[in-house]
Structure 1
Amino acid sequence: MIEPTATTVPGRHGELAVQTWSGRAPGWIALIAHGHGEHSGRYQWVAEQLVAARAVVCAPDHVGHGHSPGERVLIEDAEDFVADLESVREHITKEYPDLPVVVIGHSLGGMLAVRYAQHYQPYMAALVLSAPVLGTWHVLDLLGCDDIPHTPIDPSSLSRDPRVGHEYAEDPLVWHGPFKRTTLLAVDSCLRAINSGPALRVPTLWLHGEDDELVPEADTRTGINQIRGTEFHEHIYPGARHELFLETNAEGVLNDVVTFVGRELNT
């Protein structure tokens, strides 16, 4: 096991908790944006695979998530979270100034990664999206309710590996409460901004599970079609659920990521 280094980076609304994994002779930086309600610690195995592929892996806990301060899972403006990712990129590239940066976003972190790319494409070498929230998202239908109901995630919807759901349910750093109206409004606003924003010029890899119930592939595709650039690749995995990096075929998924990155960086 590779032990991460923990540090803090100033963000828009307080110090961000950041974990970094590294090995010998790194050749690139993987900046990970995690999903709603989770935290960077859930990416330990992913980080180890990427370090084996010569990455320095840097993963912040978004404000209100994991070990970062702030009201839990509250997003007032997604642009603040995007700015925080840039602060983390600036932090890690001071230590590794000559390494190209690949941004990897999962779920709601995929939405943030796309918005980040629309703002900061010159600083990126590539973009990887795992089950990103783009286009339309059924969860936003909750905004039609007078009171946002508590609709807990079914742990079995995360992965075909039952251990993943069990660990998620028992993780004290994971948010198990309801969505917040302010957060959903911020997500809706961000999706609208993405749809009207520039196309992706950076090489992009989109990964999605065919049986993803939390972020259905068909809904994401409506957003992808709005912004996809000329260098765009996708893998839709039959039978796979939402957390592709923790799925029963996770090794194959990570191999697809590493192959894509290696091709784009010529490593």
Structure 2
Amino acid sequence: MEEFQLKAFGLKIRGGYLRPERPRGSVVLVHGFGEHSGRYLESVAPMLLECGLAVVLYDNIGHGKSGGKRGHCPSYEALLDVLEMVVAKTKNLFPELPLYLYGHSMGGNLVLNVAIRRSLDIRGLVVTSPYLRLAFDPPKWKLLLGRWMLHIMPSITLPSGLDPKGISRIPEEVEKYKTDPLTFDQVSPMYSLPVMEAGEWAVQHAADLKTEALLLHGTGDPIIDFRATEELHKGATGTSLYLFEGAFHELHHDRCKEELLSIVQKWLDARIP
């Protein structure tokens, strides 16, 4: 993988890209919260390369090998700005090729919001388990405390309380996640609350999504509510939805992995010139 570095908000954003022999297009892959882009190199990236797509990955602010306090960011708009910077970098690397976005969980939240809110030349979206709404109701006191801290101590980080067992029905995948030195379980009010609000905003503004999108979610996801993904699909006009019965949060690391990758590959193959 060839690496690159961007500067944003006084921080170093680490990224890299893989290219097939004859690229037909390019795709920016956006990881979820508390993880990093390297976790997609053995599962999702090879499939995208088989589709003829140059794959551009990056570690978001406060994640992986990028700069910033773990689990904190300057603002939600900053996350969209960084994604837009990576899109611009991708267009410089692979000019005149159609560009796609692939986002998982928080990454799905970001690619949906950037497609609705900003004018970017994006040919299509692939979105897995998008962080639109939590699958559980956080305690009211915790939300009230978070909103209060957002105004006085927005960068303080506390445990998210999410159980890693919710990412996959495969124990080995859960163990890999738990022992990965670049994953973490700390989140600041500035990262958590605006992302939650942006998820609900995307659902409410689904009709404004003009980019064709493939939505995929597991009905057994204990972290993010698949019903919010259904709701967004019903409100949009150019989306396709696939639900995986009983599957957990990380479809690309769950028992349905091969089915997921096959569906995504067929969807992309039908749309890449």
Taking structure 2 as the reference length, the TM-score comes to 0.87
CA distance in 2, matches of 1:242, 1:89: 26
Is the CA contact (8 Å cut-off) linking 1:212 and 1:240 kept in structure 2?
yes
Aligned pairs, how many?
260
2:53 matches 1:50: no
Alignment match, 2:188: 180
Alignment match, 1:222: 231
Bigger mean CA offset, 11-20 vs 125-134? 11-20
Q: SS of the counterpart of 2:271?
A: helix
**Cα gap change, 1:13/1:208 in structure 2, threshold over 3 Å: closer, same or farther?**
farther
Taking structure 1 as the reference length, the TM-score comes to 0.89
CA distance in 2, matches of 1:176, 1:221: 28
**Correspondence list, 1:54-69, <5 A:** 54-69=52-67
Q: SS of the counterpart of 1:19?
A: strand
Alignment match, 2:27: 30
CA distance in 2, matches of 1:204, 1:20: 23
CA distance in 2, matches of 1:139, 1:90: 37
CA distance in 2, matches of 1:139, 1:68: 31
Alignment match, 2:143: 143
Bigger mean CA offset, 35-44 vs 15-24? 15-24
CA distance in 2, matches of 1:159, 1:188: 22
Alignment match, 2:222: 213
Is the CA contact (8 Å cut-off) linking 1:66 and 1:174 kept in structure 2?
yes
Alignment match, 2:124: 126
Amino acid at match of 1:125: R
Amino acid at match of 1:215: I
Amino acid at match of 1:159: S
Shift of 1:151: 4.7
Bigger mean CA offset, 213-222 vs 15-24? 213-222
- Structure 1 residue runs of 5 or longer lacking an equivalent are none
**Cα gap change, 1:136/1:176 in structure 2, threshold over 3 Å: closer, same or farther?**
closer
2:141 matches 1:163: no
CA distance in 2, matches of 1:163, 1:153: 18
Alignment RMSD: 2.2
Shift of 1:152: 3.6
CA distance in 2, matches of 1:58, 1:11: 17
Shift of 1:89: 1.1
Shift of 1:188: 3.4
Q: SS of the counterpart of 2:159?
A: coil
Is the CA contact (8 Å cut-off) linking 2:233 and 2:240 kept in structure 1?
no
CA distance in 2, matches of 1:137, 1:13: 34
Is the CA contact (8 Å cut-off) linking 1:39 and 1:65 kept in structure 2?
yes
**Cα gap change, 1:76/1:194 in structure 2, threshold over 3 Å: closer, same or farther?**
farther
Which string of whole-angstrom CA distances, capped at 9 and with x for unpartnered residues, describes residues 67-106 of structure 1? Answer: 0001111134211111111111111211210211110110
Q: 1:110 aligns with which of 87, 104, 108?
A: 108
Is the CA contact (8 Å cut-off) linking 2:17 and 2:54 kept in structure 1?
yes
Q: SS of the counterpart of 2:126?
A: strand
2:90 matches 1:92: yes
Q: 2:249 aligns with which of 202, 227, 242?
A: 242
Which string of whole-angstrom CA distances, capped at 9 and with x for unpartnered residues, describes residues 126-173 of structure 1? Answer: 011100012566466541347887354323211122221001000111
